Structure 1
Amino acid sequence: MTSYEPATGQLLWEGRAGNVDDAIDLARRAWPQWAAQPLATRIELCRRFANEVRKESDRFAELIARETGKPLWEARTEVESVIAKVNISVTAYAERTGQKKLDSALGGTAAVRHKPHGVMAVLGPYNFPAHLPNGHIIPALIAGNVVVFKPSEKTPAVGEFLAGCFHRAGVSAAVIQVLHGGPEQGKALVAHPGIDGVLFTGSAQAGIAINRKLAANPGKILALEMGGNNPIVVIDTPKVSDAAITIVQSAFTTAGQRCTAARRLIVKASMYDAIVHEVKNLADRILYAEPFAEPAPFMGPVIDNHAADQLTESFLYLMSNGGRAIKHMTRPDDNLPFVSPALIDTTAMAERPDVELFGPLLQIIKVDDFDQAIVEANNTRFGLSAALIGGSPQDYNRFWANIRAGIINWNRPTSGASSKQPFGGIGLSGNHRPAAFYAADYCAYPVASTEMEQPRASIGVGIREERRRKPR
């Protein structure tokens, strides 16, 4: 296996694909001892992991920037999110899966406790190759699970570095393992009988395949965190410049490679000219360059040439089927995956493809009024993120009540969700297992108990009266 830097094409990492059977066998043998550790011990080891990441933060951020192509400033925010995840997960575990007892004098004690599932497979993405898998790994470890982590085959070096921080912190290499590989290893990991759960972040296509594979096996917990065809809706607002900045942040941060990135800008007709002019003006000024360039770029390349090819082909498809180019997507170097941010009006298209175009490509749709905007926003099989720009509190209440999405914002970007909230969507965006603060829910299962120190029982009805023997 090899990994190349998107921005330069230089070789970054070489390694071998792992053996799924060996990894799971090692994990199954390690699980009982890890689950038997006191919760305080597991939490302490995770805090030590955070300290290791903190010590290595500069080196870690540089590696993320090199392997993903994202600007160094953004890679640093990802490392900060990795560190912050520990305290957030400790709080979430206590709130979501804490122990509860209800005492009843005659009925004993009613108790609710949580148990870990066992061996969890974590399949990570390439866009946030440290933060997103770590968002599964930390809650899983705190709950008492062990983890077999398969990083994206496009970002193996970051996955290896992340796991190394756990190992240096004192978490056994059997408790958190890295399994390198591509689709073949991913499929084998999901299907393996020794896996008790699958925690996945990635495309809807891959997530649906995993869901189908496990449909006949309800004993395995499955959390799917997939993408979206996310709408950002603009109605009446005097803050045109602020609206444009929010739109650009939503659509083009991380070169549009966020599952919560805005894919569709839905604009009320009365605001269309002003908003589109301002967004284009701002998009024209976006710097896109290699991660360490000076001045710092807003965005870097997409992950590889295949992704860049798909995006340019998608732009041409939209133009050929009724779309009107407002800002063309350009490719300055055919050998490197840099693409410029692009804007295309697809209002006149008879059928707009309901797909996640994972890159800096924003479709613009003009609507007559707020009612039509809501209908258009919901015109998708996905349901991850949505945002409303402008309007009154009453408008936002109506938007919130009618939009089908797991994340709904007002005058804020569609992206940049807080880890202190649940993170997930509906439809093709997820399977009702939100991550972030709610990750604790799928990392442990509740056990209800009623308990008494001594047996005490009676039957008050339906028993024949015992005959007493006559004395002789």
Structure 2
Amino acid sequence: MQTRQYINGEWVEGAAGSISSYNPATGEVIAEVRCASSTQVDDAITAAREALSGEWANLLPVQRAAVLFKIADLIEANAEEFAQLETLDQGQPIGVARQVSVAGAANHFRYFAGFVTKIQGTTNPISFPDTLHYTRREPVGVNALITPWNFPLMILAWKLAPALATGNSVVIKPSEVTPLTSIKLVEVCEQAGVPAGVVNIVTGAGDVGAMLSSHMGVDHLSYTGSTPTGKAITHAAADSNLKRLTLELGGKAPSIITASADIDSAVAGNVGGALLNSGQVCAAYTRFYVDSKVHDEFVEKLASAAASMHVGPGNDEKSQLTPVVSEKHLGHITNLIEAGRSEGAELVTGGHRIDREGYFVEPTVFAGVDEDNSIAKQEIFGPVLSVMKYDGELDEVIARANDSEYGLAAAVWTSDIAESQRIANGLRSGAVFVNMLPIPDMAAPWGGYKQSGWGREMGPQAIECYTETKAVWLHYGS
């Protein structure tokens, strides 16, 4: 299993110790991943800088598009290896790894490959005589891509694909918890003919990410992860070279279930939307606002559905709830469950670590939750659901749902189209899902309001993250 750094077209050993990568289903070490030194980070950024004026910069758009299409083909050719590796390292169900992570990664490269030949400027009717004014979209330069541990392959793909489509070079820093599919994707880029220096990967802990955040040689940094780390990156960027930032940060998605909702569909959808990947999804539904007319029925059916889920390792096709990513993260989740109990919420089901090897926790449902409870305010990133009641007044429930520092995603469950639009329009959130799961698509912009981040990834909006607009003035008069 490849665990080395990739710098300027060469696989090299990390020079600063190593970090163990664990199988969350068993707690066993599956790889020792070497960490990059500060010198190696410098070398990767230097290689990326030099690549901007080399072979990569001189490719015609159709040639660069062909490279991205080739990457997509190779992801599909190695789909089962990618899926098994993602499940082994991250713990997600094998069906999710195949259908969401791997398929999504290939789809992102194909989508942005199609953009390569369509990145256009404009001509503008300026008020100067005998002057032509036009704009060009040019690569922003060297991009640091820092990715999280929950969907390491797909989230890297939705950063790397538009970065390459727009002619940039990159230095990738995956989470130290789940680096293996990121390393595999870099292997695929090499096989697809990406020139040396264009794609580099440096592995390690938070200190490696901090080096990239403060490095004067990085022009743009795209980060997905926690809000506190996003704030630290922002300070580092401001204190160094004021590099551009794209930040997709924390979430605490509300889900509003109105009296007109089909309760059985709402329960099934909210279980799926809350417990996908054991709740380790930035857009996972975690705060449930349920109309008092259907509250008791919803809580009973939600708890029953959660308690009946088949628990097991991700590589078991029957598993519906798989382990959380690490012992450390398991402790974070169980601490917040204890806070829910101590702060007076009613534990309806779950609430304990499961007594088996690996990092498993019961799907947990609390009712009677107060908005000031820790479980209602803090990002848990695990299978813990908080149910609150409202009395049918839409303005009230919209205000309560918006009363959060986060604004990444939200959900509405209703059979009334006018009601759905009124609620969706009132929610301060980057994405609102009506009667469906919170799964992004490569053609739709993704990002948050408030402390859920800056900028948008995916869709045409992603092109803006990885390009600069140059205005050219050409005076042709005497």
Common fold by TM > 0.5: yes
Decide which of 419, 422, 425 is 1:401's aligned counterpart.
Answer: 425
Matches of 1:316 and 1:371 in 2, distance apart?
A: 32
Query: Which SS does the other structure have where 1:214 is aligned?
Result: helix
Matched, 1:320 2:367: no
Matched, 1:4 2:22: yes
- Bigger drift between 170-179 and 102-111 goes to 102-111
Contact 1:35 1:116 survives alignment (8 Å): no
Decide which of 40, 45, 53 is 1:32's aligned counterpart.
Answer: 53
Letter aligned with residue 7 of structure 1: A
Letter aligned with residue 274 of structure 1: E
- Bigger drift between 144-153 and 21-30 goes to 21-30
Decide which of 377, 380, 390 is 2:414's aligned counterpart.
Answer: 390
Query: Which SS does the other structure have where 2:260 is aligned?
Result: coil
Task: Please report how far the alpha carbon of residue 237 of structure 1 lies from its aligned counterpart in structure 2 after TM superposition.
Answer: 2.4
Matches of 1:102 and 1:6 in 2, distance apart?
A: 56
Letter aligned with residue 238 of structure 2: A
2:35: which partner in 1? Answer: 17
Matches of 1:152 and 1:182 in 2, distance apart?
A: 7
Letter aligned with residue 49 of structure 2: R
Runs of 4 or more above 4 Å deviation: 91-95, 102-106, 216-219, 348-353
Matches of 1:333 and 1:303 in 2, distance apart?
A: 16
Contact 2:261 2:415 survives alignment (8 Å): no
Decide which of 410, 422, 434 is 1:410's aligned counterpart.
Answer: 434
Matched, 1:249 2:267: no
Cα–Cα, structure 1 residues 172 and 288, in superposed 2: closer, same or farther, change >3 Å?
farther
Cα–Cα, structure 1 residues 30 and 429, in superposed 2: closer, same or farther, change >3 Å?
same
Letter aligned with residue 334 of structure 2: T
Once the two structures are superposed, residues 206-234 of structure 1 have per-residue CA deviations (whole angstroms, 9 ceiling, x without a partner) of 11111122234574110001121110000
Matches of 1:9 and 1:216 in 2, distance apart?
A: 39
Contact 1:344 1:362 survives alignment (8 Å): yes
Once the two structures are superposed, residues 113-151 of structure 1 have per-residue CA deviations (whole angstroms, 9 ceiling, x without a partner) of 111111100001111111101111111111111000001
Matched, 1:379 2:403: yes
1:467: which partner in 2? Answer: none
Contact 1:268 1:373 survives alignment (8 Å): no
Query: Which SS does the other structure have where 2:369 is aligned?
Result: coil
Once the two structures are superposed, residues 366-410 of structure 1 have per-residue CA deviations (whole angstroms, 9 ceiling, x without a partner) of 111223211210110100101111152221221122110010121
Letter aligned with residue 383 of structure 1: G
1:73: which partner in 2? Answer: 95
1:280-319 matches, within 5 Å, as 280-294=303-317, 296-319=318-341
Contact 1:327 1:344 survives alignment (8 Å): yes
Task: Please report how far the alpha carbon of residue 39 of structure 1 lies from its aligned counterpart in structure 2 after TM superposition.
Answer: 2.0
Matched, 1:86 2:106: no
Cα–Cα, structure 1 residues 177 and 349, in superposed 2: closer, same or farther, change >3 Å?
closer
Q: Can you give the 5+ residue segments of structure 2 that lack an aligned partner in the other structure?
A: 1-18
1:434: which partner in 2? Answer: 456
1:443: which partner in 2? Answer: 466
Query: Which SS does the other structure have where 1:449 is aligned?
Result: strand
Letter aligned with residue 418 of structure 1: D
Contact 2:413 2:434 survives alignment (8 Å): yes
Of all paired residues, the percent bearing the same amino acid is 28
1:268: which partner in 2? Answer: 291
The RMSD of aligned alpha carbons is 1.9
Contact 2:214 2:240 survives alignment (8 Å): no
Matches of 2:76 and 2:91 in 1, distance apart?
A: 22
1:108-257 matches, within 5 Å, as 108-216=131-239, 219-237=242-260, 239-257=262-280
Matches of 1:318 and 1:71 in 2, distance apart?
A: 27
Query: Which SS does the other structure have where 2:468 is aligned?
Result: strand
1:421: which partner in 2? Answer: 444
Matches of 1:148 and 1:238 in 2, distance apart?
A: 46
Contact 1:322 1:349 survives alignment (8 Å): no
Query: Which SS does the other structure have where 2:108 is aligned?
Result: helix
Letter aligned with residue 135 of structure 2: V
Task: Please report how far the alpha carbon of residue 5 of structure 1 lies from its aligned counterpart in structure 2 after TM superposition.
Answer: 0.8
Contact 2:61 2:116 survives alignment (8 Å): no
Query: Which SS does the other structure have where 1:222 is aligned?
Result: strand
Query: Which SS does the other structure have where 1:177 is aligned?
Result: strand
Matches of 1:206 and 1:346 in 2, distance apart?
A: 32
Once the two structures are superposed, residues 388-444 of structure 1 have per-residue CA deviations (whole angstroms, 9 ceiling, x without a partner) of 11152221221122110010121123x11222110001111111x110112111100
Cα–Cα, structure 1 residues 23 and 350, in superposed 2: closer, same or farther, change >3 Å?
closer
Contact 2:115 2:165 survives alignment (8 Å): no
Task: Please report how far the alpha carbon of residue 347 of structure 1 lies from its aligned counterpart in structure 2 after TM superposition.
Answer: 3.0
1:460: which partner in 2? Answer: none
Bigger Rg, structure 1 or 2: 1
Query: Which SS does the other structure have where 2:231 is aligned?
Result: helix
Cα–Cα, structure 1 residues 349 and 87, in superposed 2: closer, same or farther, change >3 Å?
closer
> How many residues are aligned here?
451
Once the two structures are superposed, residues 229-262 of structure 1 have per-residue CA deviations (whole angstroms, 9 ceiling, x without a partner) of 1100001125211010111011101100000001
TM-score by length of 2: 0.90
Contact 1:322 1:350 survives alignment (8 Å): no
